[in-house]
Structures are given as structure tokens and as C-alpha cells.
Structure 1
């Protein structure tokens, strides 16, 4: 069952219809529905005479003011007394979970973290020769070998490298980083094509 719109919603609807050029239609109100009273919070807030404070509805809400000759009880002393009491035997006090200090890795901004991750993977690919291989392969494609049988094998190899990278992204960091080495190396190698003589 849908909730009936309130007075504010009806007023906004009428204003929108007027702005859009539609004829405002007033929804029929039933006699059983009472119209909400206008909110006079502004008048109550800035009234000259403040209304008398409402009495507490329940006994636990009533807070008696201390008598002039009575000294107010110090809440800190009560808390100290509670702390000094020993817990009943056999009952364990609940412990708050230990706070784990943030690691330095978590303080690095995400874009810089991504750059470090892929730069180190490409550097590892450079050491094992994948970046140079990717640069040579890009040059081979540039000479017109787009549809040769070897090119189709390389297309399949590239799809496999990307699938491996995407599949292992959520794994442990050393495994995910190792799987990112071929992908990062190929991207860097293709970007370096044309820079070598």
C-alpha cells in the first residue's frame, strides 16, 4: 500500500506543474483525512514569553534539582567507585577489540599505489626481457603482419594475459603482482615502440 503524499509534497507538485505549464490539479481530499496544522516553529522559537517547561512524563525522566543546603553528587566519584568494584567471579568482562594501527601502505593515495604497483611489475618485465619483446612485436605488427597466423596466436596470448591479470587482481599481493608483470610489460613495450632506432 503506497503512502499518501503529505502537504509539502502536494505543494511542491503543484509548484512544479505551474512551472512546467501544466494545469494544476488538486487531489481530492477525503473528509476522514485531517489536514496537518502549519508548523509554527518560528513563532515558538522567537516568542516573547517562553512556554512553561513540560513536566516529565515518567518517573525516570524526572530529575530533581538539589536543595540549596544539599551538595550535588559528583558523578566522577560514582564512576570511580564502580571501577574499583571487582567483577563477580566467573563472569568475564567484555573487551573492546584491539585497535590495529594503519599500515604505511594504506596511507598512500590509490593512484600513486596503482602507479607503483604497475611500474615495479614493468621493471621486473624489463629485467626478464618482456618489455623488449613487446616493443619488437609492436614493430612486427607495424610492418603489416596484422592477419598472419602468428598474429592470431599473439592475439590469443594477449587475451590470456589480460584474463590472467583480471582474474588474479583480488588474490594475495605477491601472486597478483606476478600475474601483472606480463600485462604491464606488454603495455610499456607497446608504448615504447618508435622510440628506439
Structure 2
């Protein structure tokens, strides 16, 4: 009887331990593969590609629990780590979306808090980082280049539409009409003067 009781107690202990292990190693997501322990690099997780730090991935981490990868160009997998293990999301299993990636779930089927995460692939810089200018696109300074004050970019000037007065002053002027009128008056006066002298 004691042997049977001991065997039963041993079997119960194994069952409890295996159940706890199974609960601790539950991905909680059909898109993910769960692993125990913790990793920090793609090589340690047995994944191909370069380890891409979170700062170089355009993503949104919500409440320290879920990750939405907003730009997955060049990313082949995402690793989400918690205190009990880590989930591996392969790009091929994320065809329906790269949102709500998380670490393994706890006994209550809730995702554990993320302690670390990273991606694997070929992306090496953040999508929003500025691209350095290549040497070929820069022009070396010339010895004949005038000082910077003389090479200031000219500001283009815009000509405002001319008003009616400006058009009259610069195009069709009225001054010549006054001159013509004065000349005609003078000619008329001269004609009258000549006619009066003849009558006299």
C-alpha cells in the first residue's frame, strides 16, 4: 500500500510539473511558435538574418504587451520575449496581418509583459532615418568659387500686374495728344492771321 501511494504521488507530481510547463510554454497565438528560456539574437533563436533592434523597426508597442509592426520590409521574423519564454513569428505566417504580436501567455491565457523583442532580416536602419549623401553627389569646393556672400541664391522677383494708370503711362500715353492739339490751335491762329492780313 505505501508503494502504491508513493507511485501515485510521483505520478501526480509529474503531471503537475508537466502541466505547469505546458502552461508556461503556451504561445497563445496560432501564428507563433513558443520557446522556453530567453534569447537576445536571431542566431541564438536559430533564425536566419541579422538581428534588428526595435529602434530600427517601424512598430507600435501597445501597453507593453502587443506589437504592431507597421513596416515589415526586409523582416523575415519577429521574436517577442517574456519572463517565461519567447514567441517566434515567421513572416510566412503573418500573411493576414502583423498586428498584436505578443509574448507567450500565462495560465490565464493572457499575454505576458514583453521584456524584450527584436526582428530578424535585412533591415539595418530605421525606415525614417535620413540617407547620407554619397560622395559622388557632392561637388568639391573650387578655388575660383567666390565667397558665400557672393554666391547667395538670387531671389526670383515677381512682377505685379500693371494698373490701368501704369499701362497708360508706359504704353499708350496721352501727352502727344496735348501736343497735337496745341499745334493745331497754333496752326489755326496762323491761318486766321494770314487771312486777316490779306483782307486788310
Q: State TM-score, norm by structure 1.
A: 0.18
Say which one has the larger Rg: 2
Tell me which protein shows more helix as a share of its residues. 1
* Structure (1 or 2) with the greater strand fraction: 2
